[in-house]
Amino acid sequence: MIYSPHDFQRYAIDYILEHPIAAVFLDMGLGKTSITLTALEQLLFDRFEAHRVLIIAPLRVARDTWPDELKKWDHLRQIQMSVVVGSAEERMAALKQEADLYVINRENVKWLIEESGQRFDFDTVVIDELSSFKSYQAKRFRALMKVRPRVRRVIALTGTPSSNGLMDLWAEFRLLDMGQRLGRYIGDYRTRYFTPDKRNGMQVFSYRPLPGADKAIYDRIGDITISMRSTDHLKMPPLMFNTVRVSMTPAEQDVYDQLRQDMVVTLGDREIDAVNAAALTGKLLQMANGAVYDDDDVATHIHDHKLEALEDLVEAANGKPVLVAYWFKHDLDRIRMHFTVREIKSSRDIADWNAGKIPVAVIHPASAGHGLNLQAGGCTLVWFGLTWSLELYQQTNARLWRQGQTNTVVIHHIITGGTIDESVLQALRQKEKVQNSLINAVKAQLEVKG
């Protein structure tokens, strides 16, 4: 296929070519993979500024999206790609192949650098989903930092750079510029731009930005960062959000409130207890969904109100396919007891969904948030249980709300009133405001020709 980039895609390609360190915040559906491959093709064969390229991506994206995109376009035919996934033996064989691009899933970055025994001689690194490196304590971050001085060019891609707030940006840009813009140490970054928020004595649980910190941070990173929104450059389908509220009975609410207040509750012959605030949050979310795990990972039933709401939504779809996002395994188990569903996991599942062969499909945001094009199969997404992660939330929504979707996309949230569900939905909306401010601050200034 002949590649005819839009003006905004050409702008992004040129930006990558002219910036050895490029943070490219592209909204979902703008073609970040084809943009990056086109830039790499020029760096490899026209400018000779890249020789051996490592692409780090989520597993499904590494295994399927990058190879498929390479095969799709005529101008990329001379590029040789090796996909470094699978067993240790398969990964080693892939590393030893002669290629221009080596694509590896992010879980194996530490293996590649510290355990494979192969010399790290990549002069260019592409990080597909920069937000995967937002934790400076993660093994993948520490491993990549060890070899970062050897890398001459870094291309970082994401649509969700600060899904949990401005604190995410330090590790991401520490990896990009080795601390030139936001500092070499997280402590200095916190001191300069934040003040303690929630704390217990000397123990600080969270930080809030100082007045003007957001603008100061955006100014610091602006010279190596561009952002583009799909709504600015693509004809996106209409998007509607709907909140479906359900209520527990007084007896069920009493059980929920007892756990929330005492961090322990007895259900029949089983005791449900939360050892700390994080565990309590998880158990309250489970209860809101309709069941809760005990210490033996046995799920105890609480209510079916969300299942009843889901049944109403499926019926209202009147035969049109419905995609359901779940979070806990017992959510999936209980959904399967009430509906004939199929989980979207394999390439076959994706093809059947897009062919309209799956009336009700289920998807887990953590395993399928990135890289799946599901817009051909339906336009209705139901959040049975929410996640705190704005990144996973937005990416999952973008499986249906993207270029190529021909219908209005409706996102339903099933929320149990009087529970932590309401706080999660509010937190997602607040995080989105912070991220939108960042993206707007570094938005690419270009005119798209009509």
In tens, the pLDDT along 127-178 reads 998 988 999 999 999 999 999 999 999 999 987 777 677 888 999 999 999 9
- pTM for the whole structure: 0.67
Helix, strand or coil, per DSSP, at residue 65: helix
Q: CA quadruple 227, 445, 397, 417: dihedral positive or negative? A: positive
Using CA atoms, how far apart are residues 333 and 310, in angstroms rounded to an integer?
Answer: 14
Assess whether 248 and 374 both reside in one domain: yes
For 221-253, the pLDDT digits (tens) are 999 999 887 667 667 788 889 899 899 999 999
**Residue at token pair 């003006």:** 7
If you search the block for the tokens 């398969």, which residue do you land on?
90
Pair 275, 174 in one domain: no
| Mean pLDDT, the chain, whole residue set | 89
> What is the rounded distance in angstroms from the CA atom of residue 276 to the CA atom of residue 279?
5
Cβ distance 424 to 399 under 8 Å? no
Residue 33 in any domain: the answer is: yes
Return the DSSP state at 447: P
Candidates 190, 123, 110; CA nearest to 154 is 123
Same domain for 344 and 208?
no
Distance CA 355, CA 378 (A): 9
Same domain as 327, residue 301: yes
| Count of structural domains within the chain | 2
Question: Which pLDDT score is estimated for 424?
Answer: 92
8 Å CB contact between 390 and 164: yes
Task: Answer yes or no: is 26 within a domain.
Answer: yes
Residues 25, 171 within the same domain:
yes
> What would the two tokens of residue 287 be?
């209860």
Looking at residue 328, its pLDDT comes to 95
Is 221 in the same domain as 252?
Answer: no
Structure tokens at 339: 């509906």
For 103-109, what is the mean pLDDT?
96
Q: Quick one: 248 and 110 in the same domain? A: no
H runs (alpha helix) in 304-383? 305-316, 329-338, 347-354, 365-368
pLDDT at 447: 47
Tokens of 193: 């731009």
Q: How far is CA 152 from CA 155, 160, 254, in A?
A: 10, 25, 59
Residue 285, class by beta-carbon neighbours within 10 Å (0-12 exposed, 13-18 middle, 19+ buried)? buried
Question: Is residue 204 within a helix (H) or strand (E), and if so which, with residue range?
Answer: strand 203-204
Domain limits at 149?
Answer: 7-234+437-441
Report which of 184, 192, 186 is spatially closest to residue 219, judged by C-alpha positions: 192
> Quick check: 149 and 115 in contact, CB under 8 A?
no
Question: Same domain, yes or no, for 147 and 251?
Answer: no
Pure H helices in 46-168 = 59-60, 66-72, 88-96, 109-110, 139-147
In a domain, 426, yes or no: no
Q: Which of 25-29, 70-74, 136-140, 333-337 has the lowest mean pLDDT?
A: 25-29
Identify whether 447 is part of a domain: no
Q: Are residues 297 and 194 in the same domain?
A: no
**Residue 200 placed within a domain:** yes
DSSP assignment of 230-297 equals HHHHS-PPPEEEEEEEE---HHHHHHHHHHHHHSEEEETTEEEE-SSHHHHHHHHHHHHHTEEE-TTS
Same domain flag for 227 and 248: no
Q: Looking at the domain assignment, is residue 450 inside a domain?
A: no
User: Are residues 88 and 204 part of one domain?
Assistant: yes
Q: Give the DSSP H or E segment for 383.
A: strand 380-383
CATH of the domain at 336: 3.40.50.300
User: Do residue 227 and residue 267 come from a single domain?
Assistant: no
Q: What is the DSSP string of 15-54?
A: HHHH-SEEEEEEPTTS-HHHHHHHHHHHHHHTS---SSEE
* Per-residue model confidence as pLDDT tens digits over 366-387: 876 555 788 888 999 999 999 9
Q: How many CB atoms lie within 10 A of CB 48?
A: 9
Residue 245 is assigned to a structural domain of this protein: yes
- Angstrom distance (rounded) from CA 268 to CA 249: 17
Asked if residue 54 is part of any domain, the answer here is: yes
Read off the pLDDT band of 448 (50, 70, 90): very low
The percentage of the chain sitting over the pLDDT mark of 70, rounded to a whole number, equals 95
Q: What is the CATH number of the domain that holds 144?
A: 3.40.50.10810
Helix H or strand E segment including 393: helix 390-397
- Band of the pLDDT at 37, cuts 50, 70, 90? very high
Tell me the per-residue pLDDT of 267-285, one tens digit each, with 9 for 90 and over: 877 778 787 888 888 999 9
